[in-house]
A and B are shown apart, each in its own frame.
Chain A
Amino acid sequence: MQELINKAKELLANGTVVRVLGWRAGDLSYNPEPAFFETEEDLQKFVYDGFCGANLSKYMIEASKLDGKTLVFLKPCDTYSFNQLIKEHRVDREKAYIVGVGCRGKLDIDKIKEQGIKGIESVEGTELDGPDTLTIKTLYGDKTCSYASAMLGRCHVCKGKEHMIADEIIGESKDTKDAERFDAVKAVEAMSPEERFNFFQKELRKCIRCNACRNVCPACSCRKCVFDSNKFDSAQKANVDSFEEKMFHVIRAFHVAGRCTDCGECSRVCPQGIQLHLFNRKFIKDINEYYGEFQAGADIEARGPLTNYTFDDVEPSIVKERG
């Protein structure tokens, strides 16, 4: 972490950048927030640990409009999002100095709480080069849990430790993948239509339509979202079960299909713990199967699968044939 702070200080001092986009330490041990730093003094509160899961790419849309360069710290998975945003002309590469930061998987406080750990006073061992076990001090006594058991779901299907774009890289990344990316989707596919319907009804009934999934999503970077505009007569902020359960998340997933990098932020931020990645990953799986392997954000030049075609593409009836 100190290395990151030193780099930030150096780049601020030599005028390469005028601000730094990183994470600021929170008031609890697990709630750092995305933040901009403009001075050496500000950087005293800079933090980079296991709870810095937030993908900072999207903040670069606003930062690109500001004068001068911004130093941004991106984890390997964040760089896919950044690339995709470059491709869509939403961020300015010239306005960013990218430091790729190492990652050994990011932590989810809810994963710790799910283990019955309450009244958390502090979590220790979260730093990049920390131990495999977390020590948690609570109002109800000290607890421990393994780092891996507290990781965000997305880290278990990590896309890899390579940064897709960076000016320099600081810190080692670790392979955290210990599950197959599409297993969860396959499990749903294996259900009967009736079961699938009930499963998603139950899952989506939880939605409170807070738009956190949309607003955190780097692909959902529209200046005016269709759900906020009158262009489709789709402006609804009501939490009316039928719409959320059946339409909102399908439309959202479709709008980011072929552009979603599977960064997993939607699932991370959902206050109701809806497994939103099941939608995005389904599209990614279909795209891979029907149109060839495609990873959004891996290659800026590659044509997006839904803005592309071949004469011999599968027909929509494949859905039926596949059963």
Chain B
Amino acid sequence: MSIGANEEFRPKIVAFCCNWCSYAGADLAGSSRLAYPADVKIIRVPCSCRVNPMFILRAFERGADGVILCGCHPGDCHYSTGNFYARRRMTMLFSMLDYIGVENGRTRVEWVSAAEGAKFSATMNDFVAKVTSLGKNVRLGDLRCKN
């Protein structure tokens, strides 16, 4: 699974999806056969507020090239307020990563409802394209996790 010099760069993308909206949205994208690149791997969490910034940093440390967090639209959280906290936490984290010089295109939050399979697919396509254009995450990866 290593990337040779001549091979096309394929990013590693971790997508955290809340169980109630975004994961269901991803399921809908699947059952509607709305394709997005295989580079995206989804981790199911109960709510966007379950996502600890440490998970995102961990992903980057372990070699992820981009991390996206998807949750219910503000106001539609299954747990009423979870995504509001997630929104503040991620704003802070992303701002800090940007501040220390990490390309801000590598992080994203998107609100995707259970009915938005098309949005899920479009979001992932767009995000993968963005991260691909940024290339390999060299600024945050741990040397020991190199390919």
Residues of chain A having any CB pair with chain B under 8 Å: 188-189, 193-201, 226, 232, 234, 240, 242-243, 246-247, 250-251, 253-254, 257, 279, 282-283, 286-287, 290-291, 305-311, 313-320
Contact among B75, B92, B144 with A254 in the assembled complex (CB-CB below 8 Å): B92
A-B residue pairs in contact (CB < 8 Å), sample of 15: A188-B99, A193-B103, A198-B101, A232-B54, A246-B60, A246-B100, A246-B139, A250-B100, A251-B57, A287-B92, A309-B84, A311-B84, A313-B87, A316-B91, A319-B95
Say how far A60's CB is from chain B's closest CB, in angstroms: 28
Q: Which residues of B contact A306 (CB under 8 A)?
A: 85, 88-89, 92
Say how far A241's CB is from chain B's closest CB, in angstroms: 8
Q: Does B105 lie at the interface of the complex (its beta carbon under 8 Å from any beta carbon of A)?
A: yes
Q: Quick check: B102 and A316 within 8 Å, CB to CB?
A: no
A contact face: mostly helix, strand, loop, or mixed: helix
Q: In the complex where A193-B103, A315-B109 touch, is A309 in contact with B54 (Cβ < 8 A)? A: no
Q: Quick check: B54 and A234 within 8 Å, CB to CB?
A: yes
Residues of B in contact, count (CB < 8 Å): 40
Say how far B119's CB is from chain A's closest CB, in angstroms: 15
B contact face: mostly helix, strand, loop, or mixed: helix
Q: Quick check: B85 and A254 within 8 Å, CB to CB?
A: no
Q: Does B96 lie at the interface of the complex (its beta carbon under 8 Å from any beta carbon of A)?
A: yes
Q: Which residues of B contact A199 (CB under 8 A)?
A: 101
Q: Which residues of A contact B16 (CB under 8 A)?
A: none
B75-114 CB mask vs A (1 if < 8 Å, else 0) is: 1000001001101111111111111111111011100000
Say how far A142's CB is from chain B's closest CB, in angstroms: 44
Complex Cα distance, B95 from A318, in Å, reads 9
Q: In the complex where A283-B96, A311-B74, A316-B108 touch, is A242 in contact with B88 (Cβ < 8 A)? A: no
Contact among A232, A279, A314 with B96 in the assembled complex (CB-CB below 8 Å): A279
Q: Which residues of A contact B108 (CB under 8 A)?
A: 316-317
Q: Quick check: B54 and A291 within 8 Å, CB to CB?
A: no
Q: Does B53 lie at the interface of the complex (its beta carbon under 8 Å from any beta carbon of A)?
A: yes
Q: Which residues of B contact A291 (CB under 8 A)?
A: 88
Complex Cα distance, B97 from A318, in Å, reads 13
Q: Which residues of B contact A200 (CB under 8 A)?
A: 100-101
Complex Cα distance, B141 from A197, in Å, reads 13
Complex Cα distance, B104 from A121, in Å, reads 51
Q: Which residues of A contact B75 (CB under 8 A)?
A: 311
Q: Quick check: A315 and B92 within 8 Å, CB to CB?
A: no
Q: Quick check: B54 and A251 within 8 Å, CB to CB?
A: yes
Q: Which residues of A contact B3 (CB under 8 A)?
A: none
Say how far A244's CB is from chain B's closest CB, in angstroms: 11
Q: Quick check: A246 and B140 within 8 Å, CB to CB?
A: yes
Q: Quick check: B99 and A189 within 8 Å, CB to CB?
A: yes
Closest 3 pairs (CB-CB, A-B): A197-B101, A309-B84, A196-B101
Complex Cα distance, B92 from A75, in Å, reads 30
* Nearest A residue (CB) for B83: A309
Q: Which residues of B contact A195 (CB under 8 A)?
A: 101
Q: Does B61 lie at the interface of the complex (its beta carbon under 8 Å from any beta carbon of A)?
A: yes
Q: Which residues of B contact A313 (CB under 8 A)?
A: 74, 84, 87-88, 91
Q: Quick check: A309 and B143 within 8 Å, CB to CB?
A: no
Say how far A167's CB is from chain B's closest CB, in angstroms: 36
Complex Cα distance, B60 from A302, in Å, reads 34
Say how far A104's CB is from chain B's closest CB, in angstroms: 33
Say how far A229's CB is from chain B's closest CB, in angstroms: 12
Q: Does B142 lie at the interface of the complex (its beta carbon under 8 Å from any beta carbon of A)?
A: yes
Given contacts A197-B102, A243-B142, A309-B87, 8 further A-B contacts (CB under 8 A): A253-B96, A254-B53, A309-B84, A309-B88, A313-B91, A315-B109, A319-B94, A319-B95
